[in-house]
Amino acid sequence: MHRLIWICLLSLNLQANYSIPTDWIKAKHSQIKINDFTYPLVRLKNSGRPVLLIHGFLGNAHNYKEIGTYLSRAGLDVWSVTWTKNQKLDLNEAGILFLKTIIDKIHRKTNKKVIIVGHSLGGVISKIYLSGAYFKKDSTIGFSETRKKRIAKKVHSFYSLNSPNAFQYFFKNLESFVKAFPSFKLPFSKDLSDVINSNLLKKDLRKVKLWQKSLWLTKSKHFLSLFHNFFHLDVNNASSVIAHFLRYDYQRISRVILNQIECSVKWDQITDCYKKVNYSREFLNLNSMIPKYYLASSEDIIAPFESVELEADANQSRFILLNDSGHADLFVGNDALKVSRYIINTIK
């Protein structure tokens, strides 16, 4: 009960004015080397069970600044990583190699099983990992029950947050956004960890407030419509969330992943682009040794809740619906509180 009390008090503070939680600012902002590439990492270290937070399409580690704060206050050891920083990484390598290596590292360092939380595309690569996928000698992809057993020894549970099992809706509703924000670094985006480590956050936040006022004053329907597929918010809230997203929460997506999404749409399944593997089918039969929880949003047009519910049923797992919520709303305000509270209450 005491956990719920502090969560409610913290939520009042966060929702009064959308801002960066103090806990997140005070976290350790560093890097972690995985398979010869260095990835940005935010860690809120605790003695509790480790939680690996995996962001989605066009996001980064800082998408989880509210959820990560809630989980940390509950005593969990929070790790949030920007996996798309590596522009050469495709979905296969992200799920099979990257996740395996970072989870092995966290398990070895903490000597505890890892909780995986994956949003959107981050949920997709998490499911690729949990499916027991591996690279064969001829570079094709196979699935191994033995690998699933090994994974179960290191993974405690999996939380899927608005993660699709097909890319039809995903690409259809994000195509206009991708064209407006193609796969290059936005000139006005900043690495929040760099800003914090340089002690420039106060100064930088003033710029964000100016953008927020500008977004609110213009109320550009065309501009805000680009973000409607992400957030189910009114104009006033959207201006604040979008300003923070563009400045701190954005990470360009690689062309190799965009190509993989496009060919997956063409073949009506999540695939490796060579039509030698059907991940969508494997997602319906994930590792039965690991508890899985599927959360979906009622207004999500990228990962429709009906398809997420079908996937949860196929895996005989719990399904939770967030009402009046869009694809990325669960990162802010009441939805972030609900998601965090659900994760905390279901950890055994």
Q: Are 2 and 339 in contact (CB under 8 A)?
A: no
Please report which residue ranges of 74-163 form alpha helices under DSSP H: 91-93, 99-110, 121-130, 145-152
Among residues 323, 346, 321, 344, the alpha carbon closest in space to that of 4 is found at: 344
Q: What is the pTM of this model?
A: 0.90
Q: What is the pLDDT of residue 83?
A: 97
Q: Which helix (H) or strand (E) element contains residue 261? A: helix 255-266
Among residues 56, 55, 61, 26, the alpha carbon closest in space to that of 42 is found at: 61
Whichever domain contains 123, its CATH number is: 3.40.50.1820
pLDDT, tens only, 42-54? 999 999 999 999 9
Distance separating alpha carbons of residues 199 and 201, to the nearest angstrom? 6
Which residues are bridge partners to 29 per DSSP?
Answer: 42
pLDDT, tens only, 115-132? 999 999 999 999 999 999
Distance separating alpha carbons of residues 23 and 341, to the nearest angstrom? 17
Q: What is the pLDDT of residue 154?
A: 97
Locate tokens 């398990």: which residue? Answer: 107
Which residues lie closer than 8 Å to 274 by C-beta, 6 or more apart?
Answer: 140
Q: Are 140 and 72 in contact (CB under 8 A)?
A: no
pLDDT at 317 over 80: yes
Q: In a 3-state reduction of DSSP, which class is residue 152? A: helix
Handedness of CA 205, 84, 37, 117 (dihedral sign): positive
The larger pLDDT score, comparing residue 61 to residue 334, is at 61
Q: What is the pLDDT of residue 165?
A: 87
Q: Are 183 and 258 in contact (CB under 8 A)?
A: yes
Q: What is the pLDDT of residue 1?
A: 40
pLDDT at 15 over 50: no
Tokens of 50: 């480790």
pLDDT at 167 over 90: no
Range of the domain at 199: 2-346
Locate tokens 């066009």: which residue? Answer: 58
Q: What is the pLDDT of residue 6?
A: 35
pLDDT at 309 over 70: yes
Kindly state the average pLDDT of the residues 86-91.
92
Kindly state the average pLDDT of the residues 136-162.
94
Q: What is the pLDDT of residue 30?
A: 97
pLDDT, tens only, 248-277? 998 888 888 888 888 887 777 888 777 678
pLDDT band at residue 13 under the 50/70/90 scheme: very low
Q: What is the pLDDT of residue 86?
A: 95
What average pLDDT does the chain have?
A: 85
Q: What is the pLDDT of residue 4?
A: 38
Q: What is the pLDDT of residue 215?
A: 60
Buried b (16+ CB within 10 A) or exposed e, 301-332: bbbbbebbeebbeebebebbebeebbbbbbbb
Say how many domains are in the chain.
1
Which of 24-38, 244-258, 278-292 has the lowest average pLDDT? 244-258
Distance separating alpha carbons of residues 66 and 337, to the nearest angstrom? 8
Handedness of CA 178, 81, 192, 76 (dihedral sign): positive
Chain-centroid distance of CA 306 in Å reads 20
Which residues lie closer than 8 Å to 116 by C-beta, 6 or more apart?
Answer: 51, 52, 54, 99, 103, 126, 129, 130, 155, 157, 158, 159
pLDDT, tens only, 194-249? 999 999 999 999 888 887 776 654 555 556 666 666 777 654 466 777 788 888 99
Q: Are 254 and 89 in contact (CB under 8 A)?
A: yes
pLDDT at 62 over 70: yes
pLDDT band at residue 18 under the 50/70/90 scheme: low
pLDDT at 300 over 50: yes
* Angle, helix 255-266 to helix 168-180, in steps of 10 degrees: 140
